[in-house]
Chains A and B, each alone.
Chain A
Amino acid sequence: MYRLPSRVYLYTIGDLVAIYRNIISSGEDTIEIEASDVEYIDPFGICMLAAVVNKLNEADISIAIRGVDPNVFEYLRRMDFLKQCRMDKKPSREGTRKNLTDRLVEVHRITDRREIDRSAARLAQAVIGGITDIRLDDTPDEMSGKSEVDQVEHPLRYVFNELIENALTHGRGKGFNKASAWVAAQYYPSSGKMRLAVVDDGCGFLESLRNHPELPEAAHAAAIKTALKAKVSRNRDVDLTDDSVNQGVGLTVIREIALRADGCLALVSGDAWLADFPGNQRKQRTVSDWQGVGAYVELQRSRLQGINLVSIMQGLPGYAPVKGLKFE
């Protein structure tokens, strides 16, 4: 019997991966996961749970999930990724738990790069749909020229597009060409926070950067830190034969958006867990080894409208107005 933690979220992602590793190393082909302690699942937790269940299914391991809170049982049962599991709910104890259903968002899996735009749009709209006090008319702000919805939607779309693009391009390098991405997002009205997550089962940062001269050591934590540096992963090979080019600033821009929105960017890859917060605060842990990348972004909704992409781009190393560009 394997037991999920009470909170399946950013800070317990490593515990979830440890359960997966223990199941694989046990050699068992039928396992039970006890979920009766679960009180909270965030988008990162639900994405990683989906990825883990998928990996176990691929390994022909039969899964039963026991003791699911009655309030979330029907909700979880609707999700495609749990259809291959047997799932039992525990007896209802009225009044002992809050209804969690409205805090959870449906996770979905992306396998085709042509689905990225549609998925990113769907997620952004799901998040915005949870905001009850946003003006849905399209009246643009005089200063920015954007409507209130645009001011929230554009940074969200930017973050989602770039994260999923990373998962399905870089993640598919080094022989991991069947890697998938699991994505989810949620708006939390009480705190005004938006939480987004993308988890892939691709090659991970270390394999992507293993031969890069700026990687100080062959370690997952070092690889994450190197990937966060602007332009490190830029292709220097300009003998292009396909569309897999990269300027190496995607994560840098996402991190800047997250921190300017009073949020955070957290990355998991291999045995490394790293989270950046405003004020140059960084937390780092060693966790159970995930083959791939998990990315988590938190944004404070009230700060999103002040996000200025122009100043973020102008702050990137090497930015310079190009002489002779013709704008009409």
Chain B
Amino acid sequence: MKIQFNLAEKTAPERFLGTRIRASALREDLEPLLAKHGEVTLDFGGVEATQSFIDELIGVLVIEHGPEIVEQLVFRSCSDDVKAIINFVLSDRIEQYRQRVPAH
């Protein structure tokens, strides 16, 4: 079952998400949802974010769980800026993970 994770609702009234400490708290909410529901839709509608925030929210998931975790994520209503940041964060962290854990 796919479940929604709405960032604007969880961080209201803040519309610009900038800090690792905020993202870290959200990731603690996100991880059990991924484990329980398999796929989670991250709704970025109405918010912007920094690379640090995105890295802490989803880049760390790749480091902790491996690149396969990306298949469980759906990104909804992202601005062009947020899409670009997500692509950078995930490509960088997947590369980093694969350097550490070479494919068998």
B78 partner residues in chain A, CB cutoff 8 A: 327
Q: Is the CB of A310 within 8 A of B84?
A: yes
Q: Is the CB of B63 within 8 A of A238?
A: yes
A8 partner residues in chain B, CB cutoff 8 A: none
In the bound assembly, the distance between CA atoms of A246 and B89 in angstroms comes to 11
Residues B68-88 near A (CB distance < 8 A): 70-71, 73-81, 83-88
Contacts A162-B18, A165-B18, A328-B41 given; does A247 touch B55 at CB 8 Å: yes
Interface residues on B, range: 35 or more
Q: Is the CB of A245 within 8 A of B60?
A: yes
Taking the closest CB of chain A, its distance from the CB of B42, in whole angstroms, is 10
Chain A 307-328 near chain B by CB (<8 Å), digits 1 or 0:
0011001101011111011111
Q: Is the CB of B91 within 8 A of A318?
A: yes
A249 partner residues in chain B, CB cutoff 8 A: 51, 88
Q: Which residue of B lies closest to A112 (CB)?
A: B21
Q: Is the CB of B20 within 8 A of A243?
A: yes
Binds B, one of A26-34, A92-100, A114-122, A275-283: A114-122
Choose one: B71, B75, B94, B100; the contact of A327 (CB below 8 Å).
B75
Q: Is the CB of A157 within 8 A of B95?
A: no
Confirm or deny: A175 has a beta carbon within 8 angstroms of a beta carbon on chain B: no
Contacts A240-B60, A250-B51, A310-B84 given; does A318 touch B95 at CB 8 Å: yes
B77 partner residues in chain A, CB cutoff 8 A: 328
Choose one: B52, B56, B74, B95; the contact of A326 (CB below 8 Å).
B74
A246 partner residues in chain B, CB cutoff 8 A: 52, 55
In the bound assembly, the distance between CA atoms of A234 and B17 in angstroms comes to 21
A213 partner residues in chain B, CB cutoff 8 A: none
Q: Is the CB of A169 within 8 A of B60?
A: no
Q: Which residue of A lies closest to B48 (CB)?
A: A154
Q: Is the CB of B76 within 8 A of A247?
A: no
Confirm or deny: A145 has a beta carbon within 8 angstroms of a beta carbon on chain B: yes
Taking the closest CB of chain A, its distance from the CB of B101, in whole angstroms, is 9
Confirm or deny: A253 has a beta carbon within 8 angstroms of a beta carbon on chain B: yes
Q: Which residue of B lies closest to A319 (CB)?
A: B88
A158 partner residues in chain B, CB cutoff 8 A: 18, 50
Residues B19-52 near A (CB distance < 8 A): 19-24, 41, 48, 50-52
Confirm or deny: A113 has a beta carbon within 8 angstroms of a beta carbon on chain B: yes
In the bound assembly, the distance between CA atoms of A319 and B52 in angstroms comes to 15
In the bound assembly, the distance between CA atoms of A234 and B99 in angstroms comes to 13
Taking the closest CB of chain B, its distance from the CB of A256, in whole angstroms, is 12
14 A-B contacts (beta carbon < 8 Å): A113-B20, A154-B16, A158-B50, A161-B19, A234-B96, A245-B59, A245-B60, A245-B63, A247-B52, A310-B81, A313-B85, A313-B87, A318-B92, A325-B86
